[in-house]
Amino acid sequence: MLLSVKSLTVHYGKAMAVDNISLEVSEGAVVTIIGANGSGKSTILKALSGLTPISSGEIWFQGRRIDGMAPFHIVSLGLAHIPEGRRLFPYLTVLSNLKLGASLRTDTAGIKEDMDAAFDLFPLLAARRDQKAGTLSGGEQQMLAIARSLMAKPKLLLMDEPSLGLAPKVVNELVPIIRKINEKGVGVLLVEQNVPLALKVARRGYALQVGKVILEGSIDAFKGSDIVKKAYMGG
């Protein structure tokens, strides 16, 4: 198992944000977490990447327990996080942002190879490599955020609301991008409010409500679920 989360509980002060959640991502899988604002989706990803301390539970990555580790250590093990809002360095160029994504690596030849692969995946970034990140469109910034995370050579990619604030045409472009990343052997844990997008790319899912899992299973089960239709798709 690539990722195994056992009985995860997270508090913000006295308020419980995540309540006794367990989930798994197998090698090379795409798994989604769906839920409304405030359901705990982003908190889970922050806990996995060491950005938010957990109250109880265990997080295992590639058979190694990682809860309590520093974020940079978790990244070095192969877990990369694309946060909500992208969090680029707006006054640095596209190229500089990508290089920062590889800052924990020392394999110069491998870094160059992955840089070329990033530009192959996102040709628009190649054309804008000397442009400051803050001047890119929203869709281009999302491409850069994804490319930067891939420079860390992850085995698992955490994606937090990648469709947020993007035009529908750009959102549709995310589906083949996620699939291409996954085809290269990278597992994906996708947090999304855009449920149709999530159901297009994931094989398995978890639905959250107020910090608790209310549904888990295959995507076919999600597509046929009255809970999902009523809560998230206006059905």
User: How does pLDDT run across 189-231, given as a tens digit for each residue?
Assistant: 999 888 888 999 999 999 998 899 999 999 888 887 777 766 6
User: How does pLDDT run across 96-151, given as a tens digit for each residue?
Assistant: 999 999 998 899 999 999 999 999 999 999 999 999 999 999 889 999 999 999 99
Q: How far is Cα 14 from Cα 188, in angstroms, rounded to an integer?
A: 31
Q: How far is Cα 189 from Cα 33, in angstroms, rounded to an integer?
A: 7
Instruction: Please say if the pLDDT value at position 232 is more than 60.
Output: yes
1-78+155-235: which CATH architecture? Answer: 3-Layer(aba) Sandwich (3.40)
Kindly report the pTM of this predicted structure.
Answer: 0.92
pLDDT of residue 230: 66
In 3-state terms, what secondary structure has residue 36? coil
Cβ atoms of residues 174 and 197 within 8 Å: yes
Which H helix or E strand runs over 187? strand 187-192
pLDDT of residue 36: 81
Cα torsion through 19, 162, 101, 205, rounded to 10: 50
Q: Which of 63, 52, 134 is nearest to 93 (CA)?
A: 134
Q: How far is Cα 25 from Cα 52, in angstroms, rounded to an integer?
A: 20
User: How does pLDDT run across 43-95, given as a tens digit for each residue?
Assistant: 999 999 999 999 999 999 999 999 999 999 999 999 999 988 778 989 999 99
Instruction: Please say if the pLDDT value at position 234 is more than 60.
Output: no
User: How does pLDDT run across 149-188, given as a tens digit for each residue?
Assistant: 999 999 999 999 998 888 888 888 899 999 999 999 999 9
Instruction: Please say if the pLDDT value at position 29 is more than 90.
Output: yes
pLDDT of residue 210: 87
Instruction: Please say if the pLDDT value at position 235 is more than 80.
Output: no
Q: Which residues are CB-contacts of 186 (< 8 A; sequence separation ≥ 6)?
A: 28, 150, 154, 155, 156, 157
Cβ atoms of residues 54 and 47 within 8 Å: yes
Range(s) for CATH 3.40.50.300 in the chain? 1-78+155-235
Burial 82-99 (b: 16+ CB within 10 A, else e): bbbebebeeeebbbebbe
